[in-house]
């Protein structure tokens, strides 16, 4: 019998989704499962986007341009221009979700066997994309003790070899919720300038910055236009995860030209998703004000609840809607499975994402989980009570 590919064997399961069968079984048994494992907001998608789909007068659902519908790219360019990101529609390639933007960026900029440096914990799917592209991730470890701030720049430099081709950041960060400052971005600029590297910046959570902090884009860095590649998505900004529309943005036209060849091979991004995404650019400011306030309230409630639990350490996220939290357990993977298969409180339980899958260094994240505060406070309150009670009776508790 033919063997599965080495690439297929090496690609990891998603730490966000790997316990889905256990959650489904728990639901079959009648349990309520509070999903804190995945960044699926319960915020309503803007009506202007939904109405664009409802009211479309298309007679044929055609292929779009492989780079995306031009009218959408032009409007998206204006959105970026309003953020002082000076691009035009030719600097934008529309992708099937932000995921495809990451993959196309890697395939366009990195050769098999080359290396990229990423601060860990990092978005777990970077693992899958790097394996698909034949790229090796070299991790620099951030610490929960300082809220997962950017590690000292010297640690990045120590990892640079002739094989190093780039650095990847997610800002605000998934999974930690850390927001990189302008000063931290300027330090990265020094590194990519000195060593002639690409800087990939995943900015999907740009709109979600809290406590008076503002977002500083890698595209704001001056003098390095040819080295900056930004990835973006409508999934979180407009609570439109299923639309599957993202973007690869760079002023390096050679990268756009190269990525377009990969885009042509997959033909085009989803038509209805693009229609919704283009309309979503007309979302009124009030929508974002309400969403912003809602996430602050959820964050504050959940972080306070977690830090009241004995042995739990949860930094206060500055952005996105996640936190990586230390739990007093022997193994977060075992604990997360146990929650679904062996535990219930008032016929309910909680689904978490073990943080080990967000690290490249073996052994790290063993007592950490990523928690997404994407549920209404009434549900978060019940979920936190479940988690608190579970920690009290878990057989592998370490305190």
As a whole number, the mean pLDDT across the chain is 97
What is the layout of strands, in order, in the sheet containing 322-326? 322-326, 368-372, 353-354
Q: What pLDDT does residue 13 have?
A: 82
- Give bridge partners of residue 137 from the DSSP assignment: 116
Q: Where are the domains of the chain?
A: 6-44+286-393, 47-280
Output phi, psi for 74, to 5 deg. Answer: -70, -45
Q: Is the pLDDT of residue 317 over 80?
A: yes
Q: Is the pLDDT of residue 217 over 90?
A: yes
Q: Is the pLDDT of residue 15 over 90?
A: no
Q: What pLDDT does residue 181 have?
A: 97
Q: For the segment 163-194, what is each residue's pLDDT rounded down to a tens digit?
A: 999 999 999 999 999 999 999 999 999 999 99
Q: What pLDDT does residue 270 have?
A: 97
Q: Is the pLDDT of residue 93 over 80?
A: yes
Q: Which of 226 and 14 is assigned the larger pLDDT?
A: 226
Q: For the segment 137-160, what is each residue's pLDDT rounded down to a tens digit?
A: 999 999 999 999 999 999 999 999
Q: What pLDDT does residue 114 have?
A: 98
Q: What pLDDT does residue 63 have?
A: 96
Q: Is the pLDDT of residue 16 over 90?
A: no
Q: What pLDDT does residue 4 have?
A: 93
Angle at 143 between CA 141 and CA 149, to 5 degrees: 90
pTM above 0.75, yes or no: yes
Fold of the domain spanning 47-280: 3.40.640
Largest CA distance in the chain: 64
Class of domain 6-44+286-393: alpha beta
Burial of 313 per CB tally in 10 Å (0-12, 13-18, 19+): middle
CA distance 218 to 137: 20
**Could you tell me what percent of the chain has a pLDDT over 70?**
100
Helix segments in the chain, DSSP class H = 6-10, 20-28, 47-54, 70-81, 97-109, 125-133, 153-159, 182-195, 253-265, 271-280, 285-308, 332-341, 377-393
Q: What pLDDT does residue 17 have?
A: 81
Q: What pLDDT does residue 54 have?
A: 97
Q: Is the pLDDT of residue 389 over 80?
A: yes
Q: What pLDDT does residue 18 have?
A: 86
Q: For the segment 35-82, what is each residue's pLDDT rounded down to a tens digit?
A: 999 999 999 999 999 999 999 999 999 999 999 999 999 999 999 999
């Amino acid at each position: 019998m033919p063997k599965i590919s080495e690439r297929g064997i090496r690609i990891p399961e998603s730490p966000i989704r790997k316990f889905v069968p256990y959650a489904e079984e728990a639901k079959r048994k009648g349990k309520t499962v509070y999903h804190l494992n995945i960044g699926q907001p319960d915020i309503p998608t803007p009506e202007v986007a939904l109405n664009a789909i409802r009211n479309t007068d298309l007679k044929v659902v055609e292929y779009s341009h492989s780079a995306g519908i031009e009218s959408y790219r032009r409007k998206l360019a204006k959105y970026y221009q309003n953020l002082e990101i000076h691009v035009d529609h030719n600097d934008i390639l529309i992708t099937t979700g932000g995921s495809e933007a990451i993959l196309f960026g890697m395939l366009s900029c990195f050769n098999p066997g080359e290396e990229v440096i990423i601060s860990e914990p990092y978005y777990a799917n970077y693992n899958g994309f790097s394996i698909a592209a034949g790229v090796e991730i070299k991790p620099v470890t951030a610490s929960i003790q300082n809220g997962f701030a950017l590690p000292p720049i010297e640690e990045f430099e120590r990892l640079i070899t002739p094989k190093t081709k780039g650095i990847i950041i997610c800002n605000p960060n998934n999974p930690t919720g850390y927001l990189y400052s302008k000063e931290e971005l300027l330090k990265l600029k020094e590194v990519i300038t000195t060593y002639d590297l690409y800087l990939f910046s995943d900015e999907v959570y740009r709109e979600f910055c809290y406590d008076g902090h503002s977002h500083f884009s890698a595209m704001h860095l001056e003098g390095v236009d040819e080295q900056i590649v930004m990835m973006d998505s409508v999934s979180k900004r407009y609570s439109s995860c299923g639309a599957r529309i993202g973007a690869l943005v760079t002023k390096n036209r050679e990268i756009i030209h190269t990525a377009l060849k990969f885009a042509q091979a997959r033909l085009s991004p989803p038509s209805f998703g693009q229609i919704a995404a283009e309309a979503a650019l007309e979302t009124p400011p009030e929508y974002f004000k309400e969403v912003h306030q809602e996430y602050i309230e959820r964050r504050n409630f959940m972080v306070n609840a977690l830090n009241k639990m004995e042995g739990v350490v949860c930094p206060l996220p500055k952005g996105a809607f996640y936190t990586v939290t230390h739990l007093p357990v022997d193994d977060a993977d075992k604990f997360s499975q146990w929650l679904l298969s062996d535990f219930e409180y008032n016929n309910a339980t909680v689904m978490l994402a073990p943080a080990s899958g967000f690290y490249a260094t073996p052994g790290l994240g063993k007592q950490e989980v990523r928690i997404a505060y994407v549920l209404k406070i009434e549900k978060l309150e019940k979920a936190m009570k479940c988690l608190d009670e579970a920690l009290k009776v878990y057989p592998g508790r370490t305190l």
